[in-house]
Structure 1
Amino acid sequence: MIRIGLGPKEKQKVVDEYLSNNNINKAYCLYYRDFKPSYKTDCEIEYVEYADIIMYKYFYRLLEEIDDKKLIIVDGCMRTQNRSELTYNCAHHYLNQTPHKIIFEHFPIIDSKDDFMILLDFENKGKYKGKSFNYIFLHDEDIKIKPRKIKLNTIPVEISEKDFENYEKKKEYLFDNLGNKDPNTIPRELQLFAGNLKKKAIKPDKLYVARNKRFKLDNVLAYNEIAGKGDYIVIDTHYRRLNMNDFLRISGMSTIKYLCTTLSIDNVIVNEFSKWKARLDAIYAQASLY
């Protein structure tokens, strides 16, 4: 059973219904530390944090304990796009011990449609091993999705001709000095450069989020400081899609308001978001929805 996009109360209802319809004497919940759930169950429930899934102190004990009367809840454990990652493989060993499993996730993918195969591997590793994503798989298992529709609105920020010239010089310098560095450092550096030009657009009565604390303003938070719901204007997007997705989940925002210049890097950011959104919407359009 795979359920995507549900809130805490909705997930609790799914767990309640499953427990009432199955003979379960213990539940295990695998979760990620930033989003620890709390389920009310009549049976014992044990929580295992994502980083502990691979630990010996859990691994062999859980392999001995888990049988066909145990339920495993996998709650928000799609934390890397690498389907062969060790943590996933250890989780598969647990999941193979029982037919009772509920997989919860906020978004159906991190970035690529093939990310959905991670959730299908949790459901039935052997069935989907080595396979790439196909929309037909959305109907091969018990899958229901509550769409999390995200949109992006741009807030124009004017820049001068001098700003544009300095940006082009920065870009040329980064390419000339790339050497053996990760090529992704170039767009990351350019986005920070563009973000610095947006400081003049920051208003004292609004909340903002940026990649770091370089602005030294109380109303501009870094992504790792976002701890609850809020309406934030984005100065820099996070360079990791997973972290950006976490931000959307924590903040509860369905509309991203993005300070946007006419520089090429901001055009790239907007286009990449549009492509990600299109991949999400394509899955929502094909899936069974709540």
Structure 2
Amino acid sequence: MTPHLDYITRKRFHFIELIVQWEGRLTTNHLQQHFAISRSSASSIIQDYLQVFPQSLSYNASLKGYEASSGFMPSLNDLDLNIYLKLAYQSPATCNVEYFTCLNSPLSNISPSKVRGVLQALSAKMRVDVGYASVASPEFESRIISPHNLVYDGMRWHVRAYCEKNRDFRDFVLTRFNGEYEFEGEAQYDQTHDTLWQTQLDVVIEPDPRLTPERAHIIALDHQMTKQANGRYQRTISVRAALLLYLLKQLHLDSYQIKPEAQQIILSPECTAALQPYIAW
């Protein structure tokens, strides 16, 4: 169980775990450069970390730094590679970004004016009246919504909210909001009332069965699948039902390709049947 840590300590410990996870070697210089502190302060932070997580790191004299021990178990925030790469861009003196290239979504840059009202509504748990247009209704019209989450699907930002017009929870594309946000009092609905948000689904993917065994094995490696008792390579991904369609689009499972080399992966037949009530293309 992770002990309670103050914000600054947690931030420093998270940095330590990111470096160890992805670079395999931590030195005081990492902390000196990133936090603009002295060598003695950096050394103290590492010792503080070792006091809290004594089984995580060991000093390797030949590497002149700390490395993950056999008992290393990341204890703090997400250590995803994307988080490390963002850290690298923020701190090029700490992490060499010369060989890193990141293709950002061309649709992800949003005007701050469209975000502020949503963030205020989320923070204060308020209903908000705002103009909104959709492909079905291209004219901007007033919508009173109760937002409960901002969602990034890998390409675009959405607002998950209760819509008083439709009397249901819907996804609203953030770029389609227009005009000033007007607050309409306390929200009566939040994420606990959103059935699809609260429902967790298992998405089971496997190589396209039309592929040769050799090619299927490569696809399994690409998608971090493991061989199951049934002899098939599979991977299970947990997702909220409200976000299912976004995940399927990310995996290119929202369409079927004629060539198996283009399709690469499919939903397992059992999964396809289980997800049918949640899929409406």
Relative to the length of structure 2, the TM-score reads 0.24
Greater RCO (Cα-Cα under 8 Å, separation 6 or more): 1
Higher strand fraction: Structure 1 or Structure 2? 2
Higher helix fraction: Structure 1 or Structure 2? 1
Relative to the length of structure 1, the TM-score reads 0.24
Higher CA-based Rg: 2
